[in-house]
A = this chain, B = another copy of it.
Amino acid sequence: MKDSIGIVSPESAEFRQPLKLRSGDTLNSYKLVYETYGTLNQDASNAILICHALSGNHHAAGYHLDKNGDPERKPGWWETAIGPGKPIDSDRFFIVSPNNLGGCDGSTGPATINPASGIPYGPDFPFVTVEDWVESQALLADRLGIDKWAAVVGGSLGGMQVLQWSISYPKRIQHAVIIAAAPKLTAQNIAFNEVARQAIRTDPDFHEGRYLEHTDTIPERGLRLARMLGHITYLSDEAMGAKFGRELRDGQINYGYGVEFQVESYLRYQADSFIGRFDANTYLLMTKALDYFDPALNHADNLSVALKDVKSKFCVISFTSDWRFPPQRSQEIVRSLIDCGLDVSYAEIEANHGHDAFLMPIPQYLNILQAYMDKVIDRDDFGDSNSE
């Protein structure tokens, strides 16, 4: 656990004030689970918000303890970027990482018992949007005594939340770090989401979303397909080629429907590990939040108009082989930010990992992130102990 924040455990905050959602629905009460790393300084000026992507959660860094009290084998999902001495430095920043509303890792979501009915919300859980998440994250900031984030940081769907933060609360965000994101989905992005949703929703075990009311029933087939499909879009053709090529698992063609090529084995493995940890209704909600995100929609499709009141400084990072949200999509954001006269750093990282690159320990990427985060709060502001 060298260079790691070490053992961490989640905290939670209960909210009893009704939250009015974009869909028109209201959540009367809800819980947000989150982790924090580092210490909030006196004037609460060193707080960083981490926004997670589709299948992410609050466990961004460090290690949880397992049932036996031993550290789990796998750290949080962004261990490469968060921790002591890392780009998002827990020695300097107070880092807050919540699980989004509608999630399935502790925050109120479809698998939570609906207090009104005594059974899990399931399909009755309201649609949540990126705007709603920002709203709930702002209420969490209030609760933690954070008036203004030094930076809000996220990749993919997380990056969309960062962009929305800059729009919703221009005075509460000093720096926006948007990684491997897009200002809205394309028709192809929506199409992939729709196939994943159809896979889940047409699974006979989906039971119109009420599978948790049946014993040991989840729409496993659909969720597996959704995850396999997702993984194809997270990796580049090149990365898959480098990782698996056309390697045959048994060294020969078997003329059967078991695993023949290594890439098939990879997909099945990813599907297997997903179904045990992710809720199908949450998956549906997350893909819908992605589809709906479009800050320019009510501004005649002009993102620059949507961003006209934005005040924060921006760091936008994209990856050459990302075909889910390719560099051109990040550049759309950059162009609009520049249109608005905002301060933008943009980096396009040469990487063959595809969309997943934003989670990878790519030196050029982490160096750029580090350099930007060093500007968020100058290292010298932390005194000798943190300077080289």
Contacts and interface: CB of A to CB of B under 8 A. Distances in A.
Contact of A184 (B188, B202, B246): B246
A284 interface: yes
Number of copies: 2
A199 interface: yes
A23 interface: yes
B204 A246 contact: no
Interface in A116-153: 126-127
Interface of A is mostly: helix
Contact of A186 (B190, B199, B224, B237): B237
Greatest chain B CB density within 10 A among A224, A236, A284 is at A224
Instruction: Please classify how large the interface on chain A is, using the bins under 10, 10 to 19, 20 to 34, 35 or more.
Output: 35 or more
A187 interface: yes
A237 B189 CA distance: 8
A257 B240 contact: no
Given A237-B188, A241-B188, A194 B263 contact: yes
Interface in A179-210: 184-188, 190-192, 194-195, 197-199, 201-204
24 contacts: A23-B255, A24-B255, A185-B246, A186-B237, A186-B240, A186-B246, A187-B244, A187-B261, A188-B241, A188-B263, A191-B240, A191-B263, A191-B264, A194-B228, A194-B261, A194-B263, A195-B229, A199-B199, A202-B225, A203-B221, A253-B292, A257-B284, A257-B288, A260-B291
Interface of A: 23-25, 126-127, 184-188, 190-192, 194-195, 197-199, 201-204, 221, 224-225, 228-229, 231-232, 235-237, 240-241, 243-246, 253, 255, 257, 260-264, 267, 284, 288, 291-292, 294, 323
